[in-house]
Amino acid sequence: MGFWGTALFSNDTTCDVRDGYLDLLSEQHSSEDAYERTIEQCREIIDSDEEPLFWLALAETQWRVGRLREDVKAKALGWIEKDGGLELWEDENPKGGDGWRNTLQKLKGKLESPMPKEKRFPKIDRNPWNLNDVYAYRFHDEKRSGSAYVGKYMLLQKVGEGRHYEKKKLFMHIQAIDHVFNELPELDDISKYRILPLDKLDYLEKRKPKGPKVFVVRGILPMCKPSDYPKKHLTYIGNKPGPANKDIDGWVESLLNLEYLSSYYRFWKGREYKTVEEGVYDYIPE
C-alpha cells in the first residue's frame, strides 16, 4: 500500500475504494448495484490485512453522498473500535499511529452524525469534440499569457478521453502544436510543426535529465458539456490525424486555463528534442 499521510484518503487503497464506488454511481448504477459491484471489485482487499481500510473508505464515501448502509456503518464502527488499520502504520512509521487514531475518531463522529441528503449523479453529457478534431485557441488574457501573445493562436487537437475520479467529470486528452500563429491557422498546419511538450517546467529545469526520458505529456480538459470550453476563443479548424497523436499512457498536465500554454511554448522555444517513437520524445538538455 502506498501512503503519503494519516488522513483517511492519504493512501492508495482507500482512494481506490472511494473512486471505484463513485465511478459506478456516475455511470448511473443504482445504490444497491454500486455497492454490490464495489464488493466484487475489491474482493482482494476485503480478503487481506487491508480489509479495515475498505470498510472505512466505503462508509465515509457512502455517508458523504447520502447512501450509507447500516451494515457498512456497523462494519466501519467495528473496525474503528479495534483501531483498524493501525498495524499498517506502525509497521512503517510508529509516529503515524497517533495521526491514524485521530482520523478514526473523526470518522466515527461523522458516521454517527446525521447523513447528508442523497446526492444525485446526473448523466454526463457527450464530449463536444470528436477524436482528431483540431481547434485554434486565441490567446486573450494578457495577465496569464503575456502581452506578446494576445490575439495570436495555438492549435489544439483531441487525441483521447478519460475520467477524473474525484470530480466525476469526463475529460479529453489534447496535444498542442509548438507554434504561435499570427493569423488563424489552417488544418494542414498541424503537420508542419512539432508537438509542444506539456511537461512540468520546474521539474525539467531541476533534474536536467541525461538520455531519453521525456514523454510527450497530454493536457486534459473537462468534457461534461460545451460550456466547459472557452468557446468564444476557440475556432474549429477541421479533423484529421495529426503528428504523433497516439493516446499513450503517462502523466498528463491539467490545462483548465489554456492561456498558460504560452508558458510551455516559451520554455521549449529553442530547446531540442527528437522523436523516439510515436508519442515519445527524447529531451536533449542544454
pLDDT digits (tens, 9 = 90+) for 99-135: 889 999 999 999 999 999 998 876 655 667 888 899 9
Report the alpha-carbon distance of residue 174 to residue 250 in Å, rounded: 13
Output the pLDDT for position 117: 93
User: Whole-prediction pTM value?
Assistant: 0.54
Phi-psi map region of 66: left, alpha, beta (phi>0 left; psi -120 to 50 alpha): left
pLDDT digits (tens, 9 = 90+) for 185-231: 999 998 898 888 877 555 555 555 555 455 555 666 766 555 566 77
Least confident of 110-114, 173-177, 241-245: 241-245
What cell numbers appear for 206 in the block? 531541476
Q: 188 CB contacts (<8 Å, ≥6 apart)?
A: none
Report the alpha-carbon distance of residue 19 to residue 60 in Å, rounded: 12
